[in-house]
């Protein structure tokens, strides 16, 4: 039965590709993935995306999207065909360098055959006009992508949700700058990454033009729509802040964001200058159960407990956590999703550094001891430096142990060297990508020690190592 069925399916697949498929591209084809160990089909090979322009018209009542997305890219090899990641929607028009191009689609892959093959080094423009309903995908129980709620919508893509609302080379390895031109019915307001360049009154609708000129990973792209009130501020050090709060949000609710200005300057003082032109938060007028460090504009839900699986901690710490990701995650991005501790361990330790900043050394010490005891009691398996898809956002393995790795490093090399390591790493890989080996290399270089075995035991051994400097060792 099984055998027969599979033969039938194979036959159907062959028939359908013979009947409806295009002629196979003659010549070199870009890879359909970037061989990420956890998500091999995310991203695509053969080109480097330079800039995306998302010209979108969300229909808020119908919960549908239409628009045109343009990608400017440079071919890194000769290409007779190349892929984008894109799920759902109906494609109405697709051109490469203004000439209609052939394409095929599978669930997540869009394969494009330009009328004229591309040569290595060519820059080219792909424009795709589409409409329909965004598709969400789920990782670790959290639905990602574009989501609607009662009075608005938000987009939270980590790790693979971007392709559910726009065609994209969907991997942090291929960062690009972005323009968002989003038209909505009045009185909706659109917030997105970067700087608001223009607001155009079209009568019944408004077009918001947003620009993120710094390189951005696709999972950090966001468009958030609601009846927002914008509030501006500036850090004492001069970083511009714009926050988007749902209309009528009470001061008690906005309170948790009020120290953002001080936090920006605090993290700038320990990690180096804030990497982007602007910062702020956007609050989706619904309960999220997580927060996300969308570039220059962190996304939160409308609850005091808006936190990303970090347990029972003060909301202000979550605000510090997402802000610190602008250095670690957004400016310095992952080379592979396996390196997620470089995002989450760093941001979790950063929120504890904020705790230390406002409450003192003893507060940090007792927090880290508490985490050590918790991890000693709840002994899990798995490697912090090599999670699988199921443990990618695991609180104990990634967030807490990741933060403990940095605390142990600090205790081992001392404050001055530790913060020097963090600053050097943030600076060397600014607007770029790094992996665990890159971080270890910086730590070795800056400390003048060989810390390879230190990191080996902390990141690639599930046993909890001791922190002898502060008298912590695992119970028998
Ligand atoms: Zn985080």
- Give 460-474 pLDDT, tens digit per residue: 999 999 999 999 999
Across the range 121-134, mean pLDDT stands at: 97
Q: Does the pLDDT value for residue 304 go beyond 80? A: no
CA of 317 to the centre of ligand 1 (A): 11
Q: What is the pLDDT of residue 307?
A: 42
pLDDT in tens, 413-463: 999 999 999 999 999 999 999 999 999 999 999 999 999 999 999 999 999
How many Å apart are CA 400 and CA 341, to the nearest integer?
A: 9
CA of 157 to the centre of ligand 1 (A): 13
CA of 342 to the centre of ligand 1 (A): 10
pLDDT band at 26 (very low <50, low <70, confident <90, very high): confident
Q: Does the pLDDT value for residue 13 go beyond 60? A: no
CA of 301 to the centre of ligand 1 (A): 14
CA of 356 to the centre of ligand 1 (A): 18
* Beta strand 240-246 pairing with 189-192: unpaired
CA of 344 to the centre of ligand 1 (A): 5
How many Å apart are CA 398 and CA 140, to the nearest integer?
A: 13
Higher-pLDDT residue of 129 and 23 is 129
CA of 340 to the centre of ligand 1 (A): 9
pLDDT band at 313 (very low <50, low <70, confident <90, very high): confident
CA of 330 to the centre of ligand 1 (A): 11
Where along the chain do the CATH 1.10.390.10 domains lie?
332-470
CA of 103 to the centre of ligand 1 (A): 37
Q: What is the pLDDT of residue 96?
A: 98
CA of 62 to the centre of ligand 1 (A): 32
CA of 104 to the centre of ligand 1 (A): 36
Across the range 24-32, mean pLDDT stands at: 83
Q: What is the pLDDT of residue 136?
A: 85
Q: What is the pLDDT of residue 158?
A: 96
The CATH topology of domain 21-145+159-182 is: Immunoglobulin-like (2.60.40)
pTM (two decimals): 0.93
Of 361, 400, 408, nearest to 380 (Cα)? 400
Q: What is the pLDDT of residue 11?
A: 31
CA of 47 to the centre of ligand 1 (A): 29
Q: Which residues surround ligand 1, an ion (CB under 5 A)?
A: 344, 347
pLDDT in tens, 140-165: 677 899 999 998 999 999 999 999 99
Count of C-beta atoms within a 10 Å radius of residue 315:
17
Across the range 93-99, mean pLDDT stands at: 98
Q: What is the pLDDT of residue 305?
A: 44
How many Å apart are CA 408 and CA 340, to the nearest integer?
A: 18
How many Å apart are CA 146 and CA 413, to the nearest integer?
A: 43
CA of 292 to the centre of ligand 1 (A): 7
CA of 72 to the centre of ligand 1 (A): 30
The CATH superfamily label for domain 332-470 reads Neutral Protease Domain 2 (1.10.390.10)
- CA 306 to each of CA 245, 284, 384: distance values in angstroms, whole numbers, following the listed order: 14, 11, 24
Across the range 252-280, mean pLDDT stands at: 96
Q: What is the pLDDT of residue 197?
A: 98
Q: Does the pLDDT value for residue 18 go beyond 70? A: no
Own/partner contacts of 466-470, CB < 8 Å, gap of 24 or more, are 467/372, 467/404, 467/407, 467/408, 467/411, 469/411, 469/412, 470/365, 470/369, 470/411
User: How buried is 18 (Cβ within 10 angstroms: 0-12 exposed, 13-18 middle, 19+ buried)?
Assistant: exposed
CA of 345 to the centre of ligand 1 (A): 8
CA of 458 to the centre of ligand 1 (A): 20
CA of 116 to the centre of ligand 1 (A): 43
Q: How many alpha carbons lie under 13 Å from residue 217 in its C-beta half-sphere? A: 32
Where along the chain do the CATH 2.60.40.1730 domains lie?
21-145+159-182
Strand partners, 177: 51
């Amino acid at each position: 039965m099984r055998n027969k069925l599979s033969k039938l399916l194979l036959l159907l697949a062959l028939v359908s590709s013979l009947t409806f498929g295009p002629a196979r591209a003659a010549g070199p084809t870009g890879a359909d993935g970037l061989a990420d160990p956890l998500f091999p089909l995310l991203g695509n090979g053969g080109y480097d995306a330079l800039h995306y322009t998302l010209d979108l018209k969300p229909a808020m009542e119908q919960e549908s999207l239409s628009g045109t997305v343009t990608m400017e890219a440079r071919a890194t090899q000769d290409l007779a065909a190349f892929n984008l990641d894109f799920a759902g929607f109906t494609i109405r028009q697709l051109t490469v360098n203004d000439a209609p191009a052939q394409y095929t689609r599978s669930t997540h892959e869009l394969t494009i055959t330009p009328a004229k093959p591309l040569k290595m080094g060519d820059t080219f423009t792909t424009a795709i006009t589409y409409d329909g309903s965004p598709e969400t995908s789920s990782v670790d129980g959290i639905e990602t992508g574009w989501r609607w709620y009662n009075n608005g919508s938000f987009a939270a893509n980590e790790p693979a949700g971007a392709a559910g609302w726009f065609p994209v080379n969907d991997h942090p390895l291929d960062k690009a700058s972005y323009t968002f031109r989003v038209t909505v019915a009045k009185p909706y307001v659109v917030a997105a990454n970067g700087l608001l360049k223009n607001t155009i009154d079209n009568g019944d609708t408004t077009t918001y033009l947003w620009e993120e000129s710094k390189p951005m990973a696709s999972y950090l792209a966001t468009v958030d729509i609601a009846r927002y009130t914008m509030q501006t501020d500036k850090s004492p050090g001069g970083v511009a802040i714009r926050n988007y709060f749902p209309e009528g949000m009470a001061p008690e609710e906005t309170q948790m964001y009020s120290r953002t200005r001080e936090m920006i300057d605090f993290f700038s003082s320990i990690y180096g200058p804030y990497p982007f032109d602007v910062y702020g938060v956007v609050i989706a007028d619904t309960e999220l159960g997580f927060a996300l460090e969308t570039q220059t504009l962190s996304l939160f839900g409308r609850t005091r407990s808006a936190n990303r699986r970090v347990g029972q901690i003060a909301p202000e710490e979550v605000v510090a956590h997402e802000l610190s990701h602008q250095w670690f995650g957004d400016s310095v991005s992952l080379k592979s999703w396996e390196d997620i501790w470089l995002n989450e361990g760093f941001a979790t330790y950063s929120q504890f550094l904020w705790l230390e900043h406002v409450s003192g050394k003893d507060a940090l010490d007792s927090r880290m001891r508490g985490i050590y005891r918790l991890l000693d009691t709840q002994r899990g398996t798995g490697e912090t430096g090599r999670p699988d898809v199921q443990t990618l956002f695991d609180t104990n393995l990634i967030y807490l142990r990741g933060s403990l790795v940095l605390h142990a490093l600090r205790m081992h090399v001392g404050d001055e060297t530790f913060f020097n390591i963090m600053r050097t790493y943030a600076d060397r890989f600014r607007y770029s990508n790094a992996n665990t080996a890159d971080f270890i290399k910086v730590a070795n270089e800056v400390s003048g020690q060989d810390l390879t075995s230190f990191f080996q035991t902390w990141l690639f051994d599930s046993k909890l190592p001791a922190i002898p400097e502060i008298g912590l060792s695992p119970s028998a």
